[in-house]
Amino acid sequence: MSDLPHPTAPRPTARATYRLAPVLRPRGAHRRLAGWLERSPRALRVFTTSERRSKERLFGCRMCGQCALPATGYACPMTCPKQLRNGPCGGVSPLGECEVYPGERCVWLIAHERAESAGRAADLARLQRPVDHRLAGTSSWVSYWLGRDEHLWTGDDGLAAPPAVHRPSVDLGLPRVRR
């Protein structure tokens, strides 16, 4: 059990993450950088290591390679010991404690509190597709900038607006998803 992830509260406040996230929004420079990184394996390794270190420290990131943070109040769902991507399990205690680690707060409660404080609670109702484990360890920023993670969420969840920092590729002229 000790190898399982622990629910992790992000270090930055919800307000700070929602404010800063648009800095990473795909734009020409990001797209060019991502393309160059993909052609430069050594640079991509350095970049991916930097991403891992920073996101691990800030969010407890596990480098799943398909980042759900914009839809989860920037609380990483992969820090749930069961790695659930669509909300908490049925074992959360009445006090909001994790079933696997009693005494630790369920990361999905943390996610809800953070998203709600930013007026983005509806994002948590998104139906997330299963994690593609082939992407483990890859840079989710590069995927994001190249428009490859546009379909992390299903389109039939009844929610009109995408998460705050996600925009359809048609707005950006990005290449279609490569899966």
Q: Which of 68, 80, 109, 142 binds ligand SF4 (CB under 6 A)?
A: 68
28-36, 62-70, 122-130, 162-170 -> range binding ligand SF4 (CB under 6 A) = 62-70
- Which H or E run includes 28? helix 28-39
State how far Cα 101 lies from the chain centre.
22
| Residues 100-159 contacting ligand SF4, CB under 6 A | 140
Q: How near is the Cβ of 2 to ligand SF4 at its closest, in Å?
A: 19
At residue 27, what is the residue type? R
Collect all residues with Cβ–Cβ distance below 8 Å to 146 and sequence separation of at least 6: 26, 31, 34, 35, 38, 174, 175
How far apart, in whole angstroms, are the C-alpha atoms of residue 29 and residue 84? 33
18-26, 58-66, 117-125, 143-151 -> range binding ligand SF4 (CB under 6 A) = 58-66
131: left (phi over 0), alpha (psi -120 to 50) or beta: beta
Question: Among residues 71 and 174, whose Cβ is nearest to ligand SF4?
Answer: 71
| 166 lies in the site for ligand SF4, by CB under 6 A | no
Q: How near is the Cβ of 162 to ligand SF4 at its closest, in Å?
A: 16
Q: How near is the Cβ of 10 to ligand SF4 at its closest, in Å?
A: 9
